[in-house]
Amino acid sequence: MSRRIPFGSGGRRQTDPPNLCLHLITFGDSRGQPHIPMPVILHFDLSAAQAPPRHLLEAYTGASPEIADTFFAIPGHEANYQNSLRELEDRLGDRLAGPPCACVAVLVNCRAGMHRSVAMAERLAGDIEDAWRDDGVIVVVEHLDTDVERGIRRAQRARAGGEGYHAGYLAGRYSRYQRIRRNVISRS
């Protein structure tokens, strides 16, 4: 699933070229680290972070508010998020002050790449876009493993650059269980 967050009009015209393109890329440890064809400025590993309750994990991905709200309500996660946001903003400031660079990546991973990492990347994307739009930072979010069960391979998605038939797929609220259940009901 790929989503581009357009930069706003606060002080910059929509036609102005971006100063920096930030890719937030989520993936699951269980599938290995992906090859990223751009400089990686940070890597947040959430594989040891406590996950939301299982019944939510089975029904939603991290793109849904149910998972995100529950994940960040777990003690310590909000403080860790704020520290991660500050660290990312420091790196962005350094990048914007230095020589021009077209695109950089931030990797966010958890075990499956569908819940904790997705919730973190979505929230980071929103906060960075709000805070840095006047500086010409655009944010692209790429979830490599949210729809693995649909048969879309990570390499195929990476080659397509977030375009194609899977680009509009909403990862939240559509779990494997719901797909199986719908198939069973439709066969009856």
Residues spanned by the domain of 60:
2-187
40-85 pLDDT per residue, tens: 999 999 999 999 999 998 888 899 999 999 999 999 999 999 999 9
128-168 pLDDT per residue, tens: 999 988 888 899 999 998 865 555 555 555 554 444 333 33
H-helix or E-strand spanning residue 69: helix 65-73
Q: What predicted TM-score, i.e. pTM, was given to this entire model?
A: 0.71
What are the C-alpha distances in Å from 155 to residues 31, 135, 149, 162? 11, 32, 14, 11
Domain count, the chain: 1
Residues near 155 by Cβ (< 8 Å), separated by ≥ 6? none
């949210």: which residue's tokens? 146
